[in-house]
Amino acid sequence: MPRDWWKGVVVYQVYPRSFADSDGDGVGDIRGVIERLGHLERLGVDVLWLSPVYCSPQDDNGYDISDYRGIDPLFGTLEDVDELIARAHDAGIRLVMDLVVNHTSDEHAWFVDSRSSRDSEHRDWYWWRPPRKGHVGGEAGAEPNNWGSFFSGSAWEWDEATGEYYLHLFSRKQPDLVWSNPDVRAAVYAMMRWWLARGVDGFRMDVINLIDKPDGLPDGDKKLGDLWGQAFPLVSTGPRVHDYLQEMHGQVFADLGRPYLTVGEMPGVDAEQARLFTDPARREVDMVFQFEHVDLDKGPSGKFDIVPLTMAELRANLMRWQVELDDVGWNSLYWDNHDQPRAVSRFGDDDPVWRERSAKTLGTVLHTLRGTPYVYQGEELGMTNVPFSAPEDFRDIESVNYIREQTAAGVPFSDLLPGLRFRSRDNARTPVQWTAGEHAGFTRGEPWIPVTPNHEEINAEAQVGVEGSVFEHYRALVALRHEERAVSHGTVTPLAMDHPDLWAFGREHEGTRLLVLASFTREPVEVPPELLEGWEGAEAVVATSGDAAAGVLTHGVLPGWESVVLRSSGTLAE
Ligand code: TEU
């Protein structure tokens, strides 16, 4: 097995709370994942990334961990995880766990000890700071700096008992760890080795580029209208992140002696940084999740401020990443995950007439690019955003806090709704739609968040094994990556980059050439004739429909929102 085995694979993300509920308590669980492993096998994916199942007060749905070596009873037991690892391995699927070590829960034993007194053993494992000079702790403006939290409000929480503030970039129940403390790092590495010894095959590292905080914790810039200073530019990708990841590699992975995968979640990372993080010679991580393409539609007032995005802008961004990482480094490819809106509603067209075609076409593009594709649960079914309408519809701490903060500042909820509908993380968190039946077959109880009403049309039962379905298209794309080295290892040539509706590129490897053509509009697209020169006798290896393949090969026209992948040993048009 080559060291870079992950170049030829597809990863499937399970958000366990919303995947499948085996015990009827309305929350998905590990046994639910075990019971539905056949779905992943059928799709053909190679790796399962499991979002957190560790012990947690669930303030941020498990991204607030109170015991890294324990499993939350909500999700099951350690034995269930052992069984999941074994069953996944039997099915030829590797298991990657989430690693959330920028912060712990405030209920983690380390933090409980840390806050117990100023000279506790773990005091300097967290960021404790006195009030700002001349201010009284706990009063407005006394925070050590002006940083805002990602989840609204100050990033500092006053602790009356010990008379200091602690830092939390996320919720107040997610205190940040001090990575410059070698004891913190040693404890994290020991925990990682413990999981690897249990059989897991790697880690997805949550906000791993935020672990290095700047010396002196300076105030952040405040733009007009900002309630708090911007912490993000100051904490994103500090220089020591590279040192820490190299140290981690040496302490955790260097002597593992078996295949593994590491992916660093890195908001704000640019392509140049990503090359450094993923250059195999530097031994940091195998790939990163970059955020540029999922931030393009973000307006100046933050994530719920939505600006229109054209295909051309999206394409320009992702193709630039393809080019910049073509000789050194490696891309992760994703349209959505548990933090992002549903891909078909955001980048495709979720009108019932176009939904399936555009979901399939998004799949075609992502799965034929160079990099490792990630499928987020339900994406392979073309699941959509949710028609939220009232404040009570939201569960996610980010949305709930935002609604509370904005309405308290006098903004009517109706003004917030469009942004929330478009981008609330809850869009991705409604239950996976297994059947057209009650609660979409997710639970026999009451789901923790209602299923999306369209589960009657969009569900696995209606798609698995059904020709032409989104699921079967994704299955074909996964198989193509396994079989066709031009997909997994080929070079990429962006084509027709000025076309407003056609996303086109070539792939090439050892004499095999592929041409990917994808329409991002409802109207038929005439493929520029020069693109098709030399492709007359080509084979359509994957297409969203027979019509799409025939349309391109016989008339040079791609029907609306359709896509094809052509294979030939002919010459790629320049
Ligand atoms: O997300 C980090 C992150 O930067 C954002 O995607 C975040 O979801 C938010 O939208 C910022 O506006 C990771 C996890 O994926 C997320 O679920 C956690 O809430 C977060 O870290 C904290 O652990």
CATH number for position 543: 2.60.40.1180
Q: How far is the CA of 152 from the centre of ligand 1 (A)?
A: 13
Report the phi/psi class of residue 111: left, alpha or beta, with left for phi > 0 and alpha for psi in -120 to 50: alpha
Domain-embedded: residue 502: yes
pLDDT at 572: 46
| Cβ atoms of 146 and 229 closer than 8 Å | yes
Position 570 pLDDT exceeds 70: no
How far apart, in whole angstroms, are the C-alpha atoms of residue 84 and residue 389? 37
Domain-embedded: residue 2: no
Quick one: pLDDT band at residue 573, thresholds 50, 70, 90?
A: very low
Q: How far is the CA of 261 from the centre of ligand 1 (A)?
A: 21
pLDDT mean over 216-232: 92
Domain-embedded: residue 105: no
pLDDT at 242: 98
How far apart, in whole angstroms, are the C-alpha atoms of residue 29 and residue 14? 10
- How far, in whole angstroms, is CA 536 from its chain's centroid? 39
370-to-12, 231, 268, 312, 322 alpha-carbon distances in Å: 17, 33, 21, 19, 7
Q: How far is the CA of 62 from the centre of ligand 1 (A)?
A: 11
Task: Write the pLDDT tens digit of every residue in 334-366.
Answer: 999 999 999 999 999 999 999 999 999 999 999
Instruction: State which of 171, 207, 232, 427 you would mutate to test the pocket of ligand 1, scoring each by most atoms of that ligand within 8 A of its C-beta.
Output: 207
| Amino acid occupying residue 463 | Q
Mean pLDDT of the chain: 97
pLDDT at 319: 98
Q: Is the CB of 207 under 6 A from ligand 1?
A: yes
Q: How many residues does the chain have?
A: 574
The token pair at 97 is 């766990």
Q: Is the CB of 167 under 6 A from ligand 1?
A: no
| Cβ atoms of 166 and 157 closer than 8 Å | yes
Helix H or strand E segment including 49: strand 47-50
Give the number of the atom of ligand 1 that is nearest the alpha carbon of residue 303: 12
Position 571 pLDDT exceeds 90: no
Report the phi/psi class of residue 200: left, alpha or beta, with left for phi > 0 and alpha for psi in -120 to 50: beta
pLDDT at 227: 86
Q: How far is the CA of 267 from the centre of ligand 1 (A)?
A: 9
506-to-136, 393, 514 alpha-carbon distances in Å: 63, 44, 6
pLDDT mean over 239-263: 98
Residue nearest to atom 17 of ligand 1 (CA): 339
487-to-242, 322, 412, 424, 567 alpha-carbon distances in Å: 30, 13, 49, 33, 11
| Cβ atoms of 173 and 61 closer than 8 Å | no
Q: Is the CB of 84 under 6 A from ligand 1?
A: no
pLDDT at 225: 79
Residues paired with 158 in a beta bridge: 165
Give the number of the atom of ligand 1 that is nearest the alpha carbon of residue 425: 10
The token pair at 390 is 């009232």
The residue annotated as part of the active site, out of 206, 212, 336, 339, is: 206
Q: How far is the CA of 299 from the centre of ligand 1 (A)?
A: 18
Please give the full DSSP string across 437-484, using - where no structure is assigned: SGGGGS-SS--SSPPPGGGGTS-STTTTT-TT-HHHHHHHHHHHHHH-
Task: Write the pLDDT tens digit of every residue in 169-195.
Answer: 999 999 999 999 999 999 999 999 999
* Residue 350 appears among annotated catalytic residues: no
Quick one: pLDDT band at residue 2, thresholds 50, 70, 90?
A: confident
Domain-embedded: residue 537: yes
* Residue 72 appears among annotated catalytic residues: no
What's the N-to-C CA distance of the chain in angstroms? 36
Residue nearest to atom 11 of ligand 1 (CA): 150
- In the chain, what percentage of residues exceed pLDDT 90? 97
| Amino acid occupying residue 65 | I
Q: Is the CB of 75 under 6 A from ligand 1?
A: no
The token pair at 299 is 């307006």
Domain-embedded: residue 556: yes
| Cβ atoms of 33 and 75 closer than 8 Å | no
Q: How far is the CA of 211 from the centre of ligand 1 (A)?
A: 14
> Which of 310, 316, 309, 271 shows the shortest CA–CA distance to 290?
271
Position 574 pLDDT exceeds 60: no
Quick one: pLDDT band at residue 1, thresholds 50, 70, 90?
A: confident
Dihedral pair phi/psi, residue 210, rounded to 5°: -105, 5
> Which of 39, 44, 42 shows the shortest CA–CA distance to 8?
44
pLDDT at 519: 98
Stated pTM of the model: 0.97
pLDDT at 536: 87
pLDDT at 347: 98
pLDDT mean over 534-543: 94
Domain-embedded: residue 423: no
Q: Is the CB of 398 under 6 A from ligand 1?
A: yes
Q: What is the three-state SS of 125-140?
A: HECEECCCCCCCCCCC
Residues paired with 557 in a beta bridge: 526
Domain-embedded: residue 42: no
> Which of 262, 277, 168 shows the shortest CA–CA distance to 213?
168
| Cβ atoms of 73 and 22 closer than 8 Å | no
pLDDT mean over 397-424: 97
Position 284 pLDDT exceeds 80: yes
The token pair at 4 is 């870079």
Instruction: State which of 172, 206, 332, 402 you would mutate to test the pocket of ligand 1, scoring each by most atoms of that ligand within 8 A of its C-beta.
Output: 206
How far apart, in whole angstroms, are the C-alpha atoms of residue 227 and residue 30? 40
Task: Write the pLDDT tens digit of every residue in 364-396.
Answer: 999 999 999 999 999 999 999 999 999 999 999
Q: How far is the CA of 423 from the centre of ligand 1 (A)?
A: 13
> Which of 2, 30, 43 shows the shortest CA–CA distance to 481?
43
Domain count, the chain: 1
3-state secondary structure of 445: coil
Please give the full DSSP string across 103-116, using - where no structure is assigned: B--TTSHHHHHHTT
Position 204 pLDDT exceeds 70: yes
Domain-embedded: residue 555: yes
How far apart, in whole angstroms, are the C-alpha atoms of residue 458 and residue 456? 6
Position 316 pLDDT exceeds 70: yes
The residue annotated as part of the active site, out of 265, 284, 349, 484, is: 265
Q: Is the CB of 170 under 6 A from ligand 1?
A: yes
Q: Is the CB of 49 under 6 A from ligand 1?
A: no
Residue nearest to atom 6 of ligand 1 (CA): 339
Q: How far is the CA of 532 from the centre of ligand 1 (A)?
A: 43
Q: Is the CB of 303 under 6 A from ligand 1?
A: yes
Structural domain containing residue 553: 488-568
